[in-house]
Structures are given as structure tokens and as C-alpha cells.
Amino acid sequence: MIARKSFRPKLRSVMANLKKAKQSQLAVFLRYAYELKKRSAFFSLSLVILLMPGGNFYLEASLVPQQPQVREVSISLPTPSSYPVADKAIAPPAITARSAVVIDAKSASVLFEKNPDETLMPASTTKIMTALVSLQHYSLDDVIVVKRADEAIGQTMKLIPGEKMKVRDLLYGLLLESGNDAAFALAENFPGGYAAFVDEMNRLARTYHLRHTQYRNVSGVEQAGHYTSVKDLARLAAVAMMNSVFAQIVSTRSYVVTDVDGKVVHALTNKNELLGKVPGMRGVKTGWTENAGECLVTDTLREGNELIVAILKSGDRFGDTSALIEWAYRAHTWINPGN
């Protein structure tokens, strides 16, 4: 134990050291506090240091950092999308389609569904994906030579072997006239050929999370293992309509294209009979085979509210679709959460 007499000179020594070297103050304090081994003396010495007039390490220490530890970030929140609220008193229509779905494009809300995930033959609605692959891998002004596309079966735009066509014009033939030969021409000129084109269609299907879709050909002819669902079709159509070129083509009722030499003329007519008849109708694609039945995917925009309707294996595709569209707009009110 240290005597009280020896405590005073040690304390004076500590205070002298603190004035001489600020950086050594804390070390000196701790060393002598340890030697004193008395609580009362320890606290007394602490008070002396903290309350001592003049400059010292603790009085001059700055708690304000030289640079901010948290960097300011400017964030703009997206505008909330409006969403549909149903009037349950208005019942949906009876339809002939085996499978159908009505989706609000902005909110992705499902307004109506009937067997939405059942896998069925897509017929020429397949060409929505054919168009998307083509738009991603060709320029619209690329020139394609028709090789064996004239051998395509089913609906065609009547391409001629050796004919040179721009990709843009083949897309019109693909989506308006539903030309299987246009689909074949786009695929056979693809890097890696026809099989590589189909592989790319399936890769995109996985990218878009089309979990009930698989492609075996580019036109939609009946083939084992070639299928989709209405929910996948609606999702695919919503993606496709974000492409301005696709949206422009499928909204066109008729169009005339020629080969690059201007010698061969192809008059094209959109197979979607609802264009120009149903208010707000903007496309998208028809389809039919004997076993697939009548198929149709549409996009309709009214007062800023966009509906995607997809039906498969219908006995009256245009009647079913019209009824679903009119019911959906009549039975739903769109609410904006930002208002």
C-alpha cells in the first residue's frame, strides 16, 4: 500500500506530464492509477484530469468526423400502379374456351382464370415468341434469303424460293398473315440454323419464367412436346407489347410488303377480327389447328388500363374474348393508391 505522503508528488508528476505531451496523458494516467490501487484515489485523479483548466487530450478531442460515415443517396420511389377492384355482383361470362385468363398488365392482377396452368397446344400464338427471338437477334433492315421456307405447311404469306426479304417485312408476314413460311425463313437464317432458333425460344421462355411452356417448332404446327398455358401466354404477350416494333405490327390491320427488288408483292391481312371493332384493341395474335382449336391472345387499352386476355382451345375465340374484355372493364374499378 502506498503512503498518503508519496501520493502527492506522484500526482504533481502526472499533471506535469499531461501538460508536456498530450498523447502520453492516457498512458500515464493508467499507469499511476494501477500503482495507486485505491478506488478513491483513482476517481480523484480522473476528476482532476477531466476538470483541469487549460488544454488536454479530452477537452480538445473532436467528435465530429472529417468525412461523413454515411453517404447521402438520392432515391426516387416509383409511382404506385393503379390496381383493379372487382364488383362481385357482376358475374363473369360463360365461355367456350377450355382455358382462359384475364390479367391487368400494370399490376399483374388476375381478373379471371379458367384452367390457367393447363398445358395445351398453342397453335400460331407460338409466333409471339418467334417474333421476340427475331427482334433480339436481327436488325429490321437485315436482308434474308428464302431457302426452303416455301416448303412450310399450313398458313403462309406465299414466299418464293430465292426471294430476298427484309426482316421487318417478314415480321409483318409472321404476325399479320400468320405465315408459317415467314417463321421458317427467320429460323433457317439464324446463326446455328433452325434448331438453334428453337433452342433460343426455349431459353427465352425460361428467362421470362414461362414454367408451362415448351417449344418444338417456330410456327405452332402440331407436334408432340410443343405446348403452353394461358397464363404463360398472357405473361409473354405483356413482355412483347413493351417492344414498340412488335406493338406497332400487331396493331396493323393490313399491310403490303415486297421483296428487296420490288418485284414480288405480298398483301397481308391481320387475322385478328377484333381490331377496329372492340374499343381499345391493340393486337396480339391468333392461332388455330384442328386439335388446338381456336386460340387468341389480345391486348386492350382503355383509359390507361391495359388488359391481356389469353384463351386456348375455344369454340368461339372472338366471342369469348369480347365477352371477357367487356365484363372485365364493367366489373372492375381501377384504384390508384397514390391518390
Active site residues: 124, 127, 178
Q: Are 130 and 322 in contact (CB under 8 A)?
A: no
* Rounded Cα distance, 210 and 228, in Å: 8
Distance (Å, whole) CA 6 – CA 160: 115
280 Cβ contact partners less than 8 Å away, ≥ 6 residues apart: 300, 301, 302
Cα–chain center distance at 76: 19
Quote the CA–CA distance of 183 and 175 in Å, as a whole number: 9
> Largest Cα–Cα distance in the chain?
119
Residue 285 marked as a ligand binder:
yes
Q: What is the DSSP string of 269-337?
A: E-S-TTTTTSTTEEEEEEEEETTTEEEEEEEEEETTEEEEEEEEEES-HHHHHHHHHHHHHHHEEEE-T
Q: For 101-135, b where at least 16 C-beta lie within 10 A, e where not — what string?
A: bbbbbbbebebbbbbbebbbbbbbbbbbbbbbbbb
Q: Helix axis angle, 180-188 relative to 127-137, nearest 10°?
A: 40
Q: Say how far apart CA 328 and CA 307 lie, in whole Å.
A: 8
DSSP H/E element including 219: none
Torsions phi, psi of 126, nearest 5?
A: -55, -35
Q: How far apart are CA 202 and CA 288, in angstroms?
A: 21
Binding site, residues? 285
Binding site for substrate, residues? 285
